[in-house]
């Protein structure tokens, strides 16, 4: 109850006209950069940071936080409309979201993404208000062995990202692992697959690879067969999800909220992993898993809810432990420090106004975002009425600008085009692109945590089986692998009887 | 009239050639005529990022032009360092230099760029690091820790933020000189390493004073050792590495300095040196550094060049002992 009283006090801080203005500014800006691929929230916050030196700490943090969670709202837009993942957490949204758009259901896809985002953020915020210390302790329990087991389980999700052949999915997964190992190895500093190019020693950016594999390859495929665009001429009247859509999606939204809130507190890629995990869970529990990837609403609702819930809960380690879990949160950490405030266990005692003010502003900001995004759905959906021969120019320009803005390097534009052509050929062969991206993101974490775990144990792999969380995660993974074999054995025995 | 016109034209042509003849150094008076960029080759929210955000927040007052931070992380500092080394040596592209990518990595691994490829403008500040243990560790001070290491060789798990710098270098020196046996686990930066001690995944790790202080009342961390010559005023009870008999005399100074591409004209180097001196004397900058828990310790272009070179040679000597 204390927490709710304090939150009430926080609303008094957040509801001042100046702070509402800053929150609004952040949310609008966040949506805009979320829609544009490439220039992500960390870069935007970095650019705006100097402006916040002169304004009060509360207002500064409210605005910068708004940019971060606002971007999670906008991220789904290009995934759904153009098959370009605006940021890594929206890669899975391409799978069903874009298919929905091609069936003339861009409106419901965008609508469910917005409403799911809102629901996920609110659930996660309630967690932040009521059980932040518990969630922070949960995050601390994850050492290298726990990360290894979690990521190993995560890699198995590659199977759920495939539409037809599991073997082809696994091949792409392995390719992703190899691409993810480009650069300097985390333990000994050896260079791998860099061909003496300094540019490659930092590894390939998966935003660049993603835009190529999804966006550019889509353009190439469509140029080959322009007649398939007919589907866009279907009615756009139904802009928002129908009652029927909600009947399918509500459970996905609830599951996505919980999953996102939990995984989001883990430092390092929480939002990305949560969106993939949510998709895998939805496909797993679904009565019709074979329809995933064909444009069904659960495939959009789950991941889009989860990534917003995760973005919100990633504030927990920052506010309670002073640990920034990802790049955007690290930039917000810098803003705290510039204002002479060190986030951490003493933040709540020393700066209650700031702590609760920022949390309250996130409630307000999400309401603003919902009010802002729902009317935009119609506008975005109408964009698809533009003839494809014009749209294709926009897509290519957006992709090129996006790739360039990641590191301001022409190299990345070349890499994106390369992966675009590569993507064209793998799609011709029926190979799915999503497992490659997933493995590319998870590979480095897997490798690093494996090395760290084995260094901790002196080379004994038993470390993964002696720790509670780790063994639980491994058991779940083991059961998933063994289930088909057991089912097969069981059927065979019944057949013999 | 036509004659006058011709004379006028000739005067212009003459002026143009005269301008070409003026030595480049004279243009230092006009430097800077556009914003100066500092490439920080490390992650957002790290010590370098924080320091240069503080620098740039007051820089315009002394430089006459804005100074902007551009983060270029990757390859443990090599990407940004190489970028600056190749940049035009005109003073508009500078590097936020550091112990790791400007000394240790080039000396030990031959990657990134050291004093052979870059020139020194100045050192701005430095901070040492403290050794901390997890709250429920079976040792309560450095003596007990050393006794425990000797009683349990190869058992202690030490987390460090990066190879060869700060506390990592201290422990490798300890292993070399004191013959102790421990497990050193490298993490992806100071923050991740600190989280691992808090969660009890490492027995011992490193912490900046400002990172440790909020946890002091929680008892989740035990302070062990301060890696510097003098005790730190905010943690007066923590002994230095020089006081403890079991330790090696070791100063872990993570410095932050400004470096420029080789070939930057001397007048520009001097001018920037003076500007950064004024920045480090600025009261608002001093206040920010104090909040971070860092010591401002300005060294000018020539003084710092010597210190940097000596440190680089030290690392080179250390690299030879590694290869044995």
Q: Sorting pLDDT into bands at 50, 70 and 90, what band is B196?
A: very high
CA neighbor of A164 nearest in space, from A292, A74, A58, A268? A292
Residues B288 and B153 occupy one common structural domain? no
CATH number of the domain encompassing residue B216 = 3.40.190.10
Q: Which of B163, B191, B202 is nearest residue A324 as measured by Cβ atoms? A: B191
Partnered with residue B39 across adjacent β-strands are: B70, B95
How far is residue B157's CA from residue A360's CA, in Å, rounded to a whole number?
41
Domain count, chain B: 2
Do residue A198 and residue B191 have CB atoms under 8 angstroms apart?
no
What string of DSSP letters covers A266-281? STTTHHHHHHHHHHHH
How far is residue B284's CA from residue B55's CA, in Å, rounded to a whole number?
10
How far is residue A116's CA from residue A111's CA, in Å, rounded to a whole number?
8
Domain membership flag for residue B59: yes
Of the residues B208, B226, B244, which one is the last residue of a structural domain? B226
Higher-pLDDT residue of A63 and A266 is A63
Residues B152 and B295 occupy one common structural domain? no
CA neighbor of B318 nearest in space, from B120, B74, B126, B99? B99
Do residue A201 and residue B111 have CB atoms under 8 angstroms apart?
yes
Residue A463 has pLDDT above 80, yes or no: yes
Residues B51 and B97 occupy one common structural domain? yes
Provide the pLDDT for residue A252. 95
Domain membership flag for residue B190: yes
Cα atoms in the 13 Å half-sphere on the side-chain side of A410 = 0
Looking at residue B223, the DSSP 8-state letter turns out to be: E
How far is residue A286's CA from residue B26's CA, in Å, rounded to a whole number?
74
Residue B323 has pLDDT above 60, yes or no: no
Neighbours of A221 (CB within 10 A): 15
Q: Sorting pLDDT into bands at 50, 70 and 90, what band is A237?
A: low
Residues B139 and B106 occupy one common structural domain? no
CA neighbor of B202 nearest in space, from B192, B189, B215, B217? B192
With beta carbons less than 8 A apart as the criterion, state whether A40 and A71 touch.
yes
Distance to chain B for A51, nearest Cα, Å: 10
Domain membership flag for residue B58: yes
Residues B96 and B58 occupy one common structural domain? yes
Of the residues B226, B245, B277, which one is the last residue of a structural domain? B226
How far is residue B133's CA from residue A363's CA, in Å, rounded to a whole number?
39
Two tokens at B192? 């991740």
Q: Which of A142, A345, A452 is nearest residue B215 as measured by Cβ atoms? A: A345
Provide the pLDDT for residue A431. 92
Nearest CA in chain B to A451: B185
Q: What's the ipTM?
A: 0.82
CATH number of the domain encompassing residue B78 = 3.40.190.150
Residues B144 and B103 occupy one common structural domain? no
Residues from chain B contacting residue A456 (CB–CB below 8 Å): 157, 183, 185, 201-202
Domain membership flag for residue B262: yes
Residues B121 and B258 occupy one common structural domain? yes
Residues B150 and B103 occupy one common structural domain? no
Residue A458 has pLDDT above 60, yes or no: yes
How far is residue A278's CA from residue A135's CA, in Å, rounded to a whole number?
19
Distance to chain A for B107, nearest Cα, Å: 13
Q: Sorting pLDDT into bands at 50, 70 and 90, what band is A117?
A: very high
Residues from chain B contacting residue A186 (CB–CB below 8 Å): 186, 188
Partnered with residue B182 across adjacent β-strands are: none
**Biggest CA-to-CA distance, chain A:** 80
Looking at residue B240, the DSSP 8-state letter turns out to be: B
A330 near B CB under 8 A: yes
Sequence-separated (6 or more) residues with CB below 8 Å from residue B129: B166, B167, B206, B207, B208, B227, B252, B254
Residues B104 and B146 occupy one common structural domain? no
Domain membership flag for residue B32: yes
Give start and end residues of each alpha helix (H) in A384-466. 388-407, 410-428, 434-457
Domain that includes residue B284, residue range: 23-126+253-323
Domain membership flag for residue B290: yes
Q: How large is the average pLDDT for residues A89-102?
A: 90
Residues B92 and B186 occupy one common structural domain? no
Per-residue pLDDT tens digits for B108-158: 888 889 999 999 999 998 888 999 999 999 999 999 999 999 999 999 999
Distance to chain A for B258, nearest Cα, Å: 20
Sequence-separated (6 or more) residues with CB below 8 Å from residue B16: none
Domain membership flag for residue B235: no
Domain membership flag for residue B7: no
With beta carbons less than 8 A apart as the criterion, state whether A470 and A148 touch.
yes
Tokens 């991740």, residue located:
B192
Do residue B288 and residue A338 have CB atoms under 8 angstroms apart?
yes
Do residue B75 and residue A330 have CB atoms under 8 angstroms apart?
no
Residues B107 and B160 occupy one common structural domain? no
% residues pLDDT > 70 (chain B): 90
Residues from chain A contacting residue B53 (CB–CB below 8 Å): 49-50, 334, 337-338
Query: Where does residue A375 rank: exposed (0-12), middle (13-18), buried (19+ CB within 10 A)?
Result: exposed
């Amino acid at each position: 109850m204390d927490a709710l009283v304090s939150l009430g006090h926080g609303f008094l801080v957040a509801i001042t006209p100046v702070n509402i203005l800053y929150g609004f500014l952040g949310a609008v800006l966040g949506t805009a950069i979320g829609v544009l691929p490439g220039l992500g929230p960390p870069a935007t916050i970095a650019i705006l940071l100097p402006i916040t030196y002169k304004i009060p700490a509360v207002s500064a943090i409210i605005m910068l936080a708004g940019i971060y969670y606002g971007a999670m709202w906008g991220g789904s837009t290009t995934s759904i409309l153009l098959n370009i993942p605006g940021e890594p957490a929206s890669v899975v949204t391409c799978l069903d979201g874009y298919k929905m758009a091609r069936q003339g259901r861009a409106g419901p896809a965008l609508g469910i993404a917005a409403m799911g985002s809102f629901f996920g953020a609110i659930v996660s915020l309630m967690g932040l208000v009521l059980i932040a210390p518990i969630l922070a302790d949960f995050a601390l329990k994850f050492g290298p062995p726990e990360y290894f087991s979690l990521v190993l389980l995560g890699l198995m999700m590659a199977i759920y990202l495939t539409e037809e052949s599991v073997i082809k999915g696994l091949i792409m997964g392995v390719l992703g692992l190899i691409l993810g190992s480009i650069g300097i190895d985390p333990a000994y500093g050896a260079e791998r697959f860099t061909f003496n190019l300094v540019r490659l020693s930092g590894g390939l950016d998966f935003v660049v690879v993603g835009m190529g594999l999804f966006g550019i390859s889509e353009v190439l495929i469509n140029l080959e067969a322009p007649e398939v665009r007919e589907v866009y001429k279907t009615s756009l009247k139904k802009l928002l999800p129908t009652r029927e859509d909600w009947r399918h999606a509500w459970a996905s939204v609830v599951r996505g909220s919980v999953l996102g809130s939990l995984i989001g507190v883990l430092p390092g890629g929480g939002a990305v992993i949560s969106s993939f995990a949510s998709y895998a869970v939805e496909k797993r529990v679904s009565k019709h898993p074979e329809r995933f990837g064909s444009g069904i609403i659960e495939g959009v609702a789950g991941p889009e809810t989860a990534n917003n819930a995760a973005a919100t809960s990633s504030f927990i380690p920052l506010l309670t432990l002073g640990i920034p879990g990802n790049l955007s949160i690290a930039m917000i950490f810098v803003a705290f420090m510039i204002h002479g405030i060190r986030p951490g266990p003493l933040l709540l005692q020393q700066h209650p106004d700031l702590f609760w003010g920022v949390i309250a502003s996130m409630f307000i900001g999400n309401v603003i975002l919902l009010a802002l995004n729902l009317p935009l759905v119609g506008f975005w959906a109408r964009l698809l009425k533009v003839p494809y021969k014009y749209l294709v120019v926009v897509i290519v320009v957006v992709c090129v600008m996006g790739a360039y803005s990641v590191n301001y390097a022409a190299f990345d534009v070349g890499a994106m085009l390369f992966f675009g052509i590569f993507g064209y050929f793998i799609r011709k062969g029926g190979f799915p692109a999503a497992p490659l991206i997933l493995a590319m993101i998870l590979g480095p974490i897997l490798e690093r945590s494996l090395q760290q775990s084995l260094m901790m144990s002196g080379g004994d792999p038993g470390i993964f089986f002696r720790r509670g969380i780790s063994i639980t995660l491994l058991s779940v993974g083991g059961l998933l692998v063994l289930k088909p074999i057991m089912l097969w054995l069981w059927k065979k025995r019944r057949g013999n009887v | 009239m036509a004659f006058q016109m011709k004379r006028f034209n000739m005067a212009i042509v003459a002026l143009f050639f005269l301008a070409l003849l003026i030595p480049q150094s004279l243009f230092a008076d006009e430097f800077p005529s556009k914003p100066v960029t500092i490439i920080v080759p490390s992650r957002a929210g790290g010590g370098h990022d924080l320091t240069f955000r503080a620098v740039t927040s007051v820089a315009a007052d002394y430089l006459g032009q804005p100074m902007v931070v551009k983060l270029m992380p990757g390859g443990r500092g090599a990407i940004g360092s190489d970028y600056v080394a190749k940049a035009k040596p005109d003073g508009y592209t500078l590097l936020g230099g550091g112990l790791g990518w400007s000394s240790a990595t080039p000396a030990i691994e031959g990657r990134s760029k050291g004093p052979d490829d870059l020139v020194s403008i100045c050192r701005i500040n430095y901070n040492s690091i403290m050794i901390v243990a997890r709250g429920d560790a079976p040792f309560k001070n450095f003596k007990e820790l050393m006794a425990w290491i000797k009683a349990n060789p190869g058992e202690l798990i030490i987390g460090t933020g990066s190879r060869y710098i700060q506390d990592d270098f201290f422990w490798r020196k300890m292993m070399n000189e004191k013959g102790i046996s421990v497990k050193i686990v490298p993490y992806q930066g100071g923050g991740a390493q600190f989280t691992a001690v808090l969660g009890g995944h490492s027995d011992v790790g490193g912490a900046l004073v400002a990172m440790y202080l909020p946890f002091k009342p929680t008892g989740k961390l035990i302070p062990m050792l301060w890696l510097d010559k003098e005790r730190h005023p905010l943690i007066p009870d923590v002994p230095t590495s020089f006081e403890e008999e079991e330790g090696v005399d070791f100063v872990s100074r993570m410095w932050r300095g400004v470096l420029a591409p080789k070939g930057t004209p001397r007048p520009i180097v001097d001018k920037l040196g003076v500007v950064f001196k004024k920045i480090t004397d600025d009261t608002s900058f001093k206040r920010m550094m104090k909040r971070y828990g860092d010591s401002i310790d300005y060294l000018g272009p020539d003084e710092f060049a010597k210190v940097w070179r000596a440190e680089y040679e030290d690392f080179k000597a250390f690299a030879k002992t590694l290869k044995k």
